[in-house]
Structure 1
């Protein structure tokens, strides 16, 4: 049985396994290392995951959903066709089930466990939601690894370079930055910061807004979901085009009209200024918390597909006064790093000399009352463990009673950076009994201990009686046991599209998307070609089936060359 590493991404997900030669990516059912994080329902009610689902975003938007990682832990519900609804944990579980099946087919063995990466700035609720998704997928997971930490692991193992390195991780939906020091096989995270609502999707949405404005249409409101999805698809293509050209032209069929236009890189970058400004604050916080200066950095590593945008590379070069390191694949480096972490967990001999340390990304503290005996009494957050403290870590703070004859202290535990407890994430409460005494006479010591697996142990000791109250807040479940069991059974009953049909379904979904955009003779040609493919593939097997697929894919490529530019 094997332990694998998984990058559960907003746009794409990937899996990798540690081998004596280093981390090795695991191909999916269509032979690709990246699986689009998209889930859809096919016409027969079966669930599509990956490329086939992504191709249906524009043609079947009411039965397809993407970018659900941003909803993790929120309670958001996505409603797909046939009256089915899914929480983001369930959608993520379907992606994880697909990755699990790919890994077991590739490795020829069942999985013992997985290490899953999460954005460094995911809070406790979002991390628990990720573990819920793993459990719903039937995938044992004890260890979550922060995405920039995973990237640094892959970079450090591969390069063997030493020094202070900043990891700039801009994915499809989240932004993380971590500052690490690498020396003599030790990889020490010094600070991390981020924004869980900023990523490549926001730049795509910005471009979609520019295109819509040029064409005199509104993205929301009266525009049908399918056409809105088509605008976003064109915007993504324009974004990719601007990576290699100062201007990108496009053609799109909207409201029964073929519309043309162009977007210049300079205009896009000017419009993106507010998004670029949001990238600066986490960078500055990570540098400040680490105690490092720009001059102390030995390199900047770019992670995440969105870092391919020239505007991002230019920003990093200007801010740090150096060109970023780009020899690692930004799309797969997190999965490779998660595989390194899996190798460390499995105690592989090749990693005996590698030591990884991490930090607590958020401040952990309790609610206390200021000015308790006045009309100005307010509750504030008292930090016990400050953000970016190296883990494992243990800190203590004494608190006292605030009322005469008080018999109970409610230790409310929070995670976050706000002064006001209600603006932070509530982790739980420990009620503590104390003897009656004048206000301030009874003291309790509150000790927080946080470990590398994200478990927080809180111990409250009443000094006068010696009584101790202890509770562990670990990366457990947001859903209770009964709800988890019910949702697990419901997901198990859902029919997943067979793996051996994944490539056929992806090609047919691509053909359907072409059919929706073409007209006249070319549209008729697509319909005829689909019919021939469906007949041929049912009669073929082995090498013949591969040849049929290759011929169909080549025909679709030719049609792509003659349809609208994007």
Structure 2
């Protein structure tokens, strides 16, 4: 397995996009605009996928962008080019990747395995899938990033047993526990936080450096973006040194690894709490874990490795570069799906799960879970609905995703209305509703009613229109 260096002679590129009056610049060339034109240079786009304006405001991050939302409740960035949506940016990035790889390989790219955070909900997955396909990339599979890393280790490095994947990148955090044996990858549990990552460390460190300044200039978006760039560089250096000296606006500032560790400690503890919860959900003991794989650039931080070792008592695996493990696994899985043959002289079978429960709304706003988290996929569940009033000819079914007892704290996937039912006494009408989740985690619903011979199939491919209704009638 070889990772090609198609991006300015590098294997990886930052997901940074800069908008000018009539064009956009992506990747390494856009990096230089971070401290020159913060409002028109967007980073960490993964954090904005499927996030509402209300959720964004709750996080209270010092984001240097002019953001609003459109009628579909999709975030919109106001730039020199005009109003730019999140999905437009993702499409731009997919097209950029496709073009660069095709130029490097001198071959056309038609399909790909695309990796996503394991804890993405159905809305976020659909946004990625639709954006890729509109960029002329057939999605062979949406593969969870920790699972991809486990595939790389299971096939390339012949690791087996119970494997915990700790994936801490710039924008998201995931934990997955898998059982790996002779090319069979069985995902037991997935947990995570799509708003936790190295970016948070940068924000904390940037604020810390600002408060160390004497005769502080007034903090604005451009200044804070410059501080973020410096903070990221300091963070990287503190993975190798115990003390860093930097010059910021004619101020000489010292930052020690002790100070940095104190800043990020609550976030590191949060990741360990999620790890412990995953182990508990998997119904195993920590002592039974055979290997822990580190994935993502943030796992280079010594404090994280120390805390993981203190908890699990085994040395984390870094046999594959943490920033490349996901790409390697995705490449191996793509090879298998495309050619339908053994990989690395081993058979391959992936048994995945649904990371977040899917349910329906009951009276009182109660969330009834139809398909619970960590259920193996593909799967299907049948629910029989009936009328509760005499001569009732219709009602609504509201589908949500989440773990809370109340739907108000969950994500609305789809509302649809059943109409035109035969007028019968209460309880006489039976509506057979089948919830089906395929291997990619896509949800579909089949509705049948025998008296009226109603038969409908609905694919729940919601992107941003959470409140969009589907009217169904005989």
Q: TM-score, normalised by structure 2?
A: 0.87
Looking at structure 2, the residues matched to 224 and 449 of structure 1 have their Cα atoms a distance apart, in angstroms, of 49
Q: 1:455 aligns with which of 435, 438, 442?
A: 442
Looking at structure 2, the residues matched to 119 and 308 of structure 1 have their Cα atoms a distance apart, in angstroms, of 19
Looking at structure 2, the residues matched to 129 and 365 of structure 1 have their Cα atoms a distance apart, in angstroms, of 21
| 1:451-474, Cα deviation, whole Å (9 max, x unpaired) | 112222222344x73845433325
| 1:343-388, Cα deviation, whole Å (9 max, x unpaired) | 122025342611111111111111122xxxxxxxx12111111011
State the shift of 1:146 in Å: 1.0
The equivalences for 1:382-397 within 5 A come to 382-397=368-383
| 1:119-151, Cα deviation, whole Å (9 max, x unpaired) | 111112211221233244333325211111111
Give secondary structure in 1 for the equivalent of 2:405. coil
**Residues 470 and 360 from structure 1, CA distance in 2 versus in 1: closer, same or farther, beyond 3 angstroms?**
farther
Looking at structure 2, the residues matched to 289 and 398 of structure 1 have their Cα atoms a distance apart, in angstroms, of 29
Looking at structure 2, the residues matched to 134 and 479 of structure 1 have their Cα atoms a distance apart, in angstroms, of 19
2:262 aligned with 1:229: no
What's the counterpart of residue 76 of structure 2? 77
Contact 2:124 2:463 in 1 (8 A): no
The equivalences for 1:444-523 within 5 A come to 444-462=431-449, 465=451, 467=453, 469-475=455-461, 478=464
State the shift of 1:100 in Å: 0.7
| 1:236-261, Cα deviation, whole Å (9 max, x unpaired) | 111111101222221112xxxx0111
2:265 aligned with 1:290: no
State the shift of 1:111 in Å: 1.0
What's the counterpart of residue 55 of structure 2? none
| 1:151-209, Cα deviation, whole Å (9 max, x unpaired) | 11112111112100011100100001111000121011111011000000001111111
Looking at structure 2, the residues matched to 368 and 476 of structure 1 have their Cα atoms a distance apart, in angstroms, of 21
What's the counterpart of residue 411 of structure 1? 397
Looking at structure 2, the residues matched to 133 and 93 of structure 1 have their Cα atoms a distance apart, in angstroms, of 5
Cα-Cα RMSD: 2.4
Contact 2:381 2:435 in 1 (8 A): yes
Larger Rg: 1
State the shift of 1:439 in Å: 4.5
State the shift of 1:297 in Å: 0.7
- Higher RCO (CA 8 Å, separation ≥ 6 residues): 1
What's the counterpart of residue 258 of structure 2? 266
Q: TM-score, normalised by structure 1?
A: 0.73
Off by >4 Å, runs of 4+ in structure 1: 216-219, 433-443, 474-480
Looking at structure 1, the residues matched to 215 and 122 of structure 2 have their Cα atoms a distance apart, in angstroms, of 40
Contact 1:446 1:459 in 2 (8 A): yes
State the shift of 1:264 in Å: 1.6
User: Which 5+ residue runs of structure 1 have no aligned equivalent?
Assistant: 1-21, 370-377, 481-566
Looking at structure 1, the residues matched to 216 and 5 of structure 2 have their Cα atoms a distance apart, in angstroms, of 40
Looking at structure 1, the residues matched to 368 and 376 of structure 2 have their Cα atoms a distance apart, in angstroms, of 19
Give secondary structure in 1 for the equivalent of 2:365. strand
Contact 2:75 2:85 in 1 (8 A): yes
State the shift of 1:401 in Å: 3.2
Q: 1:155 aligns with which of 153, 156, 181?
A: 153
The equivalences for 1:70-469 within 5 A come to 70-74=47-51, 75-81=74-80, 83-215=81-213, 222-253=218-249, 258-351=250-343, 353-369=347-363, 378-432=364-418, 434-437=421-424, 439-440=426-427, 442-462=429-449, 465=451, 467=453, 469=455
For these two proteins, the number of residue pairs brought into alignment is 441
State the shift of 1:445 in Å: 3.6
